[in-house]
Structure 1
Amino acid sequence: MNKVILRAKSIHKKYKMGVAEIHVLKGIDLSLRHGETLAIVGPSGVGKSTLLHILGALDRPTSGEVTINSTAVFDLDDVDLAKFRNQTVGFVFQFHYLLPEFTALENVAMPGLIGGNAHRDEIFKKAERLLEEVDLAERLEHKPNELSGGEQQRVAVARALMNSPMILLADEPSGNLDLEASRALHDLLFNLNRRKKQTIVIITHNHELAQMADRIIELFDGRVKQEISQNRKD
C-alpha cells in the first residue's frame, strides 16, 4: 500500500462577515496516499474550494493541522510556507491565469524561474518537454489569446507540473470547457496519474470526472458527508 503523503486533521475555517461569523469547514479529516486520485464533490457553498486552498497552503485554517510528507505545514512562517508550497504543490484552477504577454513556453517555465533551483536553459527544456507531454508541441510560441480554451487549460496543467509537485490540486479544471475539451482534459489528468503516479486532488461538479477517481469525498454543510472508494479500472 502506498505511503500517506498528506494528512489533514480537524480542519475548521471561519470567516468574519461584519459582526457575523461564517463557519465554513467544521472538522474535516482526510488523508491522501502517493499516486492516489481523490475527487471532492458537493453542492456549491459547502467549502470545497476553501478546503482545497488549505490543503495546498494557499490559506491557513482557523484551527486544525495539515501534514505533507512529515512537514507540519502551518507551523511554517509565511516565507517558508510560500517556498514549501512552490516546491510541493501544483495548482490548476477553473480559469487558467496564464500571463497574456508571455508565450505558452514562457508561462510554463515561470514557476521554475521563480523557484531559481535550476539553470535557465534547463528550465526551458523541461517546460518544452511538459508541453509536448500535454500535446502542445506545436504551440510553444503561441500566446494565451492564440489558444483554444482546452489548450489554455493544458498549458496550465503543464505549468502546474513545472516544479515536479508531490501533489496536484485542481479546482473545477474543466468548469469553463465544452464537453469535448472537458473529456480531453480529464483523460490528460488521469494519464498523468497512470504514467507518473502523480497524486491528484480534484474539486468538481462533473459526475463523469469524479467517477474516474480512486476515491470520492462528498462535503455537505462543512463536513464530510460520505467517502466512497472505487475500484478504478485503468
Structure 2
Amino acid sequence: MSTITTIGFDADDTLWQNEQFFRQTEKHFATLLAEHAGGHDIEARLLEAERRNLAHYGFGIKGFTLSMIETALELSGGKVPPNVIREILDVGREMLSHPVETLPHVRETLEELAGAYRLVLITKGDLFDQERKLAQSGLGELFDAVEIVSDKTAATYQRIFTCHGDGPGRSMMVGNSLKSDVVPAIQAGGWGVYVPHDLTWVLEHADEPTAAPRFRRLEHLGELSALIERLGREG
C-alpha cells in the first residue's frame, strides 16, 4: 500500500453549503409557475432541462438559471410573462452572491493536514462562482493547488494527481458525491472517501463501491485525519 502524499477535496457540500440554495430556489420557481403545472411536474421538467443542458452550459448556477427560463417557456407554451423571466434572473443573481457557509470540521481538518500533505481543491462548476466562494471561505491559503474543472472523470483525477502529486496511487479524493468524487478517483487508482451530505443533487447519485479496497465512508470530515493515520499504519 503506497503512502498517501496528496489529498483532493471537493468544494460544494463538502467544504461549504451549496445544494440547499438550489432547493430553495426550486421551490420559489415552482410558485412562479404554479398556474401552469403542479410542483412535482415542474421539478421533473426542470431536472430534465438541466440534464439536457449539462453538455452545453456545464455545472453551476448560470446553467441552472438558463434551465429555469427554458422550463418556464416550455410549461407556459412560450407565454410566460416578462416579469417572471425577470424574477428568475434575479434569483439566479441572488444565488451567485449568497454568503459562503462553511460546513463543520472543515477548517480544523484542513489546518491539521496542511503542510503534511499536498492539498488540492478539485471542484467543478462556473469558474467565477467557485473562485468567489473559495475567496469568501477564507480557506484558499490552506491549499497547494486549485483545479476548477468542467467534469470529474478518472482521466481528470489521473491528470491532477500526476500534476500536483505523486500519481493517483498515492492520492486520495474526499467528497460528498459518489458519482463525481469517489468512483472516478478509485477508477484512476486512488482512494475515494465518501462524506455524505444531507442534500445531494439527484444527478450526482451513484451506488457505494463497497467492494473496492480503496473506498472508505466517513460520517463527517472531522474523521478524516484519523482515517489517514490508520491507513498509514496499515501500509
| Alignment TM-score > 0.5, same fold | no
- Of Structure 1 and Structure 2, the greater strand share is in 1
- Of Structure 1 and Structure 2, the greater helix share is in 2
Q: TM-score, normalised by structure 2?
A: 0.30
